[in-house]
Structure 1
Amino acid sequence: MTPVQIRTRPPAHRRSATAVITVTVEIPADDPRLARRLTAALGVLAQSGGRVALAAEGAQQVPAEPAPATAPAALVIDVPGREVTLHGEPVALTRLEFELLAFLARHPGMVHTRPELLHYVWETPDLGLPGRTVDVHVRRLRAKLGEFDTLVSTVRGVGYRFARSTDVEYRPGPVQDRGLTI
């Protein structure tokens, strides 16, 4: 097996926050399990909002294992449609509640401080102003999420985190991370 070759093309436009990464991997023809595992790993990347294109050159493509039938997600966050549904029923969120939920869900497992949330969701700098704006919006958002209120968890003394869950479907829209680097 030859080493993996990686080429990265920087974002065409700074605000798009996307980059194209080309990876070339040579897999021995006598190891179809390795190809299936690599395809499954790329599928995970695609589910988290990335686009994945596979191309096989000079080798027989291994048919992918059929995906198991899954029930529709109980909580759907549709960013392009600006809609949140809970068991198929729309949830009435204000503009800032929706932006807050979408931002947290876009980065599951990542802790965001209150100043970060003020910057990226409210688009205002934290000038050390007293107030509990973020806390109040999180409390209202949790109340509207009902049984999924635990998805938005508090990290004491730090900020908030959105938990990873198989019951949540996040449908990303155009990337607008406003400069957030991970």
Structure 2
Amino acid sequence: MTPVQTRTRPPAHRRSGTATITVTVEIPADDPRLARRLTAALGVLAQGGGRVAIEGAQPVPAEPTPEAPAASPALVIDVPGREVTIHGEEVALTRLEFELLAFLARHPGMVHTRSELLQYVWETPDTGLPGRTVDVHVRRLRAKLAEFDALVSTVRGVGYRFTRSRDVEYRTGTGYNEDRGLTI
């Protein structure tokens, strides 16, 4: 593997203070984990406001996992049954708390603004409710999720996101979950 090469171009606008950094990394084909970790790191950079462009990147196939006994997930969001359980114990959520959790978990990793949440969860335009309504419901939801409160993270100045986790199962009415496969 060749060393990492970087090249920095001075800022296009002196006032903005932005710079373009070009990084060239050669990753051996027999090390797919390194490619995934690098892609994840670049994703974090992009979420912080930077732009990331990957030239010539090839999608890396997932590593086959050895057959292990299926462990039951710690947090289950059952949309058809409108039920959330933590370690098999049902969590009592209000209708809006459940809708908020289900909406965020349906799109893990995606940041949703307060306006989007008001539109899709509350089904009302942004101007219809006080400004802190979403924040209050998120706070109450986190309190009820106990040890899983960190799954609903705040993106400061933007909104909220649900973090992907192997401990979470999102059940839909089709009997199939994209992240965990067939659910029964």
User: Which TM-score tier does this pair reach, normalised by the shorter chain?
Assistant: 0.5 to 0.7
Alignment of 1:1-182 (within 5 A): 67-127=67-127, 130-173=130-173
Instruction: Give aligned-pair identity as a percent.
Output: 83
Compute the displacement of 1:128 (Å). 7.4
State TM-score, norm by structure 2: 0.57
Whole-Å separation in 1 of the counterparts to 2:81 and 2:70: 23
Distance 1:129 1:78 in 2: 28
Deviation digits for residues 1-60 of structure 1, max 9, x if unmatched? xxxxxxxxxxxxxxxxxxxxxxxxxxxxxxxxxxxxxxxxxxxxxxxxxxxxxxxxxxxx
SS at match of 2:116: helix
Which one-letter code corresponds to 2:118 in the other structure? L
Residue type matched to 2:169 in 1?
E
Cα deviation code 1:47-104 (max 9, x no counterpart): xxxxxxxxxxxxxxxxx98742231000000000000000000000000000000000
Return closer, same or farther for 1:67/1:153 CA change in 2, 3 Å cut-off. same
RMSD, aligned CA: 1.8
SS in 2 for 1:170: strand
- SS at the partner of 1:127? helix
Q: Deviations over 1:98-135 (max 9, x none)?
A: 00000000000000000000000000011275420000
Given the two structures, how large is their TM-score scaled by the length of structure 1? Answer: 0.58
Flag as ranges the 4+ runs of structure 1 deviating above 3 A: 64-67
**Structure with more contact order per residue of length (Cα contacts < 8 Å, sep ≥ 6):** 1
Cα separation, 2, equivalents of 1:138 and 1:147: 15
Q: Which runs of 5+ in 2 are unaligned?
A: 1-63, 175-184
Distance 1:83 1:130, change over 3 A: closer
Name structure 1 gaps, 5 residues minimum: 1-63, 175-182
CA gap 1:73/1:119 in 2 versus in 1, 3 angstroms: same
* Aligned length in residues: 111
